[in-house]
């Protein structure tokens, strides 16, 4: 059971480090790879859930008195991860909204530029050039 607890704590530490790195990437990079970050977190969360499930199975088969303290400690760490995840979600949402607003401004700029073009200049293109002499 100790081996499973160590694996869970390893996963918790890895998730904590991933959250910290992903939060820092917003300040360091012009455009962080949100898809890759989400994928990395999903993989690690899946592994954590699997390990916790295995620990629960082991704890049910063994009658261990310190089981409550183990789960209480893990619960505290998981609660901290959930708080980090909320902060990261807030950061991603704000970043997405900034990008969306920037794209709207670019779209408005394109429309403004196209409105300055003369419709005559666009439609006055010669279709056929005649070079015959009569």
What pLDDT shows up at residue 97?
92
> Rounded CA gap, 91 and 22, in Å?
10
Let me know: does 41 contact 107? Beta carbons within 8 Å: no
First-to-last alpha carbon distance for the chain, in angstroms, is 101
> Rounded CA gap, 47 and 2, in Å?
17
Fold assignment, 2-114:
Methane Monooxygenase Hydroxylase; Chain G, domain 1 (1.20.58)
Domain range list for the chain: 2-114
What pLDDT shows up at residue 113?
79
> Rounded CA gap, 124 and 134, in Å?
26
What pLDDT shows up at residue 100?
92
Collect all residues with Cβ–Cβ distance below 8 Å to 14 and sequence separation of at least 6: 44
> Rounded CA gap, 88 and 70, in Å?
27
Collect all residues with Cβ–Cβ distance below 8 Å to 37 and sequence separation of at least 6: 18, 22, 25
Collect all residues with Cβ–Cβ distance below 8 Å to 55 and sequence separation of at least 6: 1, 4, 5, 8, 70
What pLDDT shows up at residue 3?
86
What pLDDT shows up at residue 14?
92
Give me the residue label for tokens 């807030």: 90
pLDDT in tens, the chain (134 residues): 788 888 888 999 999 999 888 888 888 877 788 889 889 989 999 998 898 888 888 877 776 556 677 778 888 888 888 898 898 889 889 888 988 999 999 988 888 777 776 655 555 665 666 677 65
What pLDDT shows up at residue 60?
76
Structure token digits, residue 44: 């690690």
């Amino acid at each position: 059971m100790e081996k499973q607890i160590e694996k869970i704590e390893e996963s918790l530490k890895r998730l904590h480090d991933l959250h910290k790195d992903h939060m820092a990437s917003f300040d360091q990079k012009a455009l962080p790879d949100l898809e890759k970050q989400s994928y990395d977190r999903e993989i690690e969360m899946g592994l954590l859930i699997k390990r916790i499930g295995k620990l629960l199975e082991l704890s049910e088969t063994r009658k261990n008195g310190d089981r409550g303290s183990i789960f209480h400690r893990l619960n505290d760490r998981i609660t901290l991860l959930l708080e980090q995840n909320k902060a990261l979600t807030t950061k991603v949402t704000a970043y997405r909204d900034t990008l969306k607003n920037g794209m709207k401004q670019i779209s408005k700029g394109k429309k403004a530029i196209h409105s300055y073009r003369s419709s005559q200049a666009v439609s006055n293109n010669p279709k056929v050039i005649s070079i015959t002499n009569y």
